[in-house]
Amino acid sequence: MKRHNSFLIIILFLLSNILSAQSLLNGYGFGGVPSNSAASIMGMGGNSISPTFQLGTSVNNPATWMRLKYTRLNISYINDQSMFSSFEGMNGQTLLGIGQMIVPIKEKYSFGLGLMPYRNQSISITGKESTFIAFGDTISTKKSLNSYGGINSFYFGFGLSPNPAHSVGAKLHLLFGSTRQSIKNNVEGVMSYSNGRYNYSGLLVDLYYSSNFESSINFSGMIQYALNPLSYVSKIYHPFDDTNQSGYHDSEIYSMDFPYQSDVGSAVEGQADNIHSPFQYQIGVDWNVKENIAISGEYLLWKEKGDLSNLSFVLPLNDYVIQRDEFSIGIVRFTPNLLAPKFLDKFQLRSGFHSINYQLSSGNTPINDISFSFGFGFKFKATMNQIDIAYRTGKREYNESLGSENYQQLMAEFTLGDIWFVKRRSR
């Protein structure tokens, strides 16, 4: 593994451009935090525990779910694009944001479950071509690293309102996923590969609070910690020359890849525990300035408590995010809880500002991220089905050698409503 890390240092030293599949953030530690998974949250800039979806409700805060009038089933998609100042070209992808079902019960209880991305590790790094003289010939080489995959969260949440003014909730996140990494060395057109695969597992707990005072100002809070810190099981495969340029270590029956599969041993397996143990707290304040119009502000502090010395596998940028500070503020115009006859009353309007500061374990220059966003939602049908659209644009500032990254994100979310756990009148 030490040889792999030394090889990466050489790549980064020769780095001339970064062809990031999504963002350079995906190369730090366990990858970048995916963009806000719900359009109603992105449209507000980043507020995730204060009400953003409907009046009094956030899809991310189970302490507010019981305020919904109907069961909600929602799914979102995001298109994420970025451009580096040092690279002329746009990189991007379309991802599933969140799939979630929320069930309110008699305005006192709620439960829900969902699936969402937790970390994105897809990134490609390419070094510039270099030459050297060997035995009188000029040899050209080019090195690169590709990483694909990431970590997902399957979660179960519930909420409880012991009295009308206070409610609490919790989520249990089951983390799972895998990453494939490939280091490539191109020597005069012959590709040499060194491949590895990492499978992750872990368990996180979120605790939530939300107030519902008879006043214009209310509060929200959240704490997250690792019940079972993230661990990984790895497989490191023997390096090979890809003679037929298939990208795989083929059998000798079909190719002349060197060495033959029969001449090398099986993959070297390894594992490590407590490689990622996050601690996070978040506070939010929302102020109803007028009927159905609210301003929300939130602060989030995230810290890495895991044992980073256990990380022996290849990291694309040989660095980790050990702390993240976020601040966001947004304004929203909600639709009424019941459908109004006026067509304009079916629309929700959102806009916000979001600032993030990433501290790195190396002590290098922090990464600063500032973005602005806006969006809208549209309600229809008796159960208040909803379509939400959000757009976000921002800029990340790295150190001098990496420059800056401009990005834009477009998210669409569709929510269906239904009536569950409602006592029906007898005929």
CATH assignment of the domain containing 272: 2.40.160
Structural domain that includes position 306: 2-370+389-418
Q: Would you say residue 7 has pLDDT above 60?
A: no
pLDDT at residue 166, as a whole number: 94
Mean pLDDT of the chain: 83
> Do the domain assignments include residue 382?
no
> Do the domain assignments include residue 63?
yes
pLDDT at residue 35, as a whole number: 66
> If you average pLDDT over each of 136-145, 229-238, 396-405, which comes out highest?
229-238
> Do the domain assignments include residue 282?
yes
State the residue for tokens 């390419």: 126
What does the pLDDT look like over 44-100, one tens digit per residue?
Answer: 988 789 999 988 999 999 999 999 989 999 999 888 887 876 655 556 677 778 899
CA dihedral (124, 20, 126, 369) positive or negative: negative
Structure tokens at 127: 């070094």
Cβ-contact 84, 20 below 8 angstroms: yes
What does the pLDDT look like over 92-147, one tens digit per residue?
Answer: 677 778 899 999 998 899 999 999 999 988 887 777 777 777 677 777 777 788 88
> Do the domain assignments include residue 384?
no
> Do the domain assignments include residue 380?
no
Between the alpha carbon of residue 226 and those of residues 168, 203, 216, 277, 280, the distances in Å are 19, 6, 35, 5, 10
What does the pLDDT look like over 321-332, one tens digit per residue?
Answer: 999 999 999 999
Structure tokens at 242: 């890809």
Q: Would you say residue 213 has pLDDT above 70?
A: yes
> Do the domain assignments include residue 425?
no
pLDDT at residue 141, as a whole number: 78
> Do the domain assignments include residue 249?
yes
pLDDT at residue 418, as a whole number: 83
DSSP-derived 3-state class of residue 105: strand
Q: State the pLDDT confidence band at 20, using cuts at 50, 70 and 90.
A: very low
Q: Would you say residue 260 has pLDDT above 80?
A: no
Q: State the pLDDT confidence band at 1, using cuts at 50, 70 and 90.
A: very low
Q: What is the mean pLDDT of residues 275-286?
A: 95
> Do the domain assignments include residue 423?
no
pLDDT at residue 22, as a whole number: 63
Query: How many domains does the structure of the chain reveal?
Result: 1
